[in-house]
Amino acid sequence: MGKKILDGIRIVEFGWAVVGPITSSWAGNYGAEVIKVETNTKVDVIRTMPPFKDDRADINTSLFFARENASKYSMALNLVHPEAIKVAKRLVSLSDVVLDSYTSGVMSRFGLDYQELKKVKPNLIMISSCMYGQTGTYRSMPGYGVPLTAISGLTEICGWPDRKPTGPYGSYTDYLVPRYNLLAIVAALDYRRRTGDGLYLDASQYEASVQFIAPLLLDYVVNKRINTRQGNACPHAAPHGVYRCHGNDRWCAITVFNDEQWNGFCKAIGNLPWTQESKFSTILSRKKHEEELDRLIEKWTIEHTAEEVMIIMQRYGVPAGVLNNGEDLGNDPQLKHHHYYKKLEHPEMGAVDYPSHSIQFSKSPQEVFRSPCLGEHTEHVCKNIIGLSDDEFEAYSAKGVFE
């Protein structure tokens, strides 16, 4: 097995919920040694969230937590204890990167902000990834992905024009932001390699999320036009929607953006007579008759399985995809081909399928290892990384530092 991209890099994660933990987990997949600092006194919220393995609710059996926290160690450290801050600083002094995803001001109150930490590690890289960044009107506002999805403008554009906004499923932005974070960390590591200097990275989850509606934002900035919900329609494509297929609640998405794709679509469904009508000959005319077009398409798709529709459309160069559910994704042949799921043994959950990362390097493999139980590696980190003696470790334990 070749050298991993981030071999030799140690990251200390003061993470919470999803964005911070995913960022460091991905780094761990690519070789970084990640140490998650957490506590029994205020458990990471997603340790308490379902689904749980075999529906047995426990802080160490959340599959949600396991998914976002693979490839890292867990150190229990009660940061409200003054002695714990000393231990945390000793760990940071031996590390390369600190990641925190708390609300702005929390790390300062702990005495673990960048100005303090660079005293013990002058070339430290620290990234703070909170909801709105470290400055500005919203800086002290806490929150999660669902309200951030709303304030970023994504919820407003999801749904039907005559109904209330639905938004994308779940905390959508939580799965967008870590990509920016990891890129920033790698860039900062390269900067340090070239200059010898550390960096502080102020990562606003809000601003990263707004990037995903950039065309709509620009439409307002330039044209003062406000875009809103359009259902499954798209102003630049027709057909553009999801179509009912044969079977129980089976659907396939089909998109046609240009004449070449339209010609392919017509061939795919057998050049039915209605496809030759002038009202469907151009994108503009198809948009004018979009409801009728969708009804006609569904008369064809309902006679085929969703998988058949996707394969036929793709054969003729038409973008199409089955609307997969959880069962479909668990059995998807493409994901299996890429060994996307890694079955790993967990001490509390037994065998668990962990998803791997979507990017594979030809000469630098990724390797996923299981998520940790809370505080599972506290003694290992203290003695083998920080260098505490047995007596020091026992003394700190007696004071309640490792809770």
Strand partners, 11: 34, 97
d(C-alpha 199, C-alpha 121), whole Å: 11
54 classed as catalytic: no
Question: CA torsion sign, 111 to 116 to 117 to 121?
Answer: negative
Name the one residue in this structure whose structure tokens are 């553009």. Answer: 240
According to DSSP, the β-strands at 251-255 and 350-355 are unpaired
d(C-alpha 306, C-alpha 304), whole Å: 6
d(C-alpha 234, C-alpha 296), whole Å: 18
According to DSSP, the β-strands at 125-130 and 97-100 are parallel
**Residue (of 341, 331, 333, 338) closest to 360 by Cα position:** 338
The CA-atom distances, in angstroms, between 319 and each of 11, 268, 289, 402 are 41, 12, 21, 54
| DSSP-assigned letters across all residues of 202-223 | EEEHHHHHHGGGHHHHHHHHHH
Strand partners, 255: 240
Name the catalytic one among 44, 113, 174, 294.
174
d(C-alpha 381, C-alpha 205), whole Å: 30
CB neighbour class for 305 (10 Å; exposed up to 12, middle 13-18, buried from 19) = middle
* HSE-up (13 A, CA, CB side) for residue 359: 9
d(C-alpha 271, C-alpha 263), whole Å: 9
- Measure CA 85 to chain center: 30
The CA-atom distances, in angstroms, between 281 and each of 79, 269, 276 are 66, 16, 7
The residues that are catalytic are 174
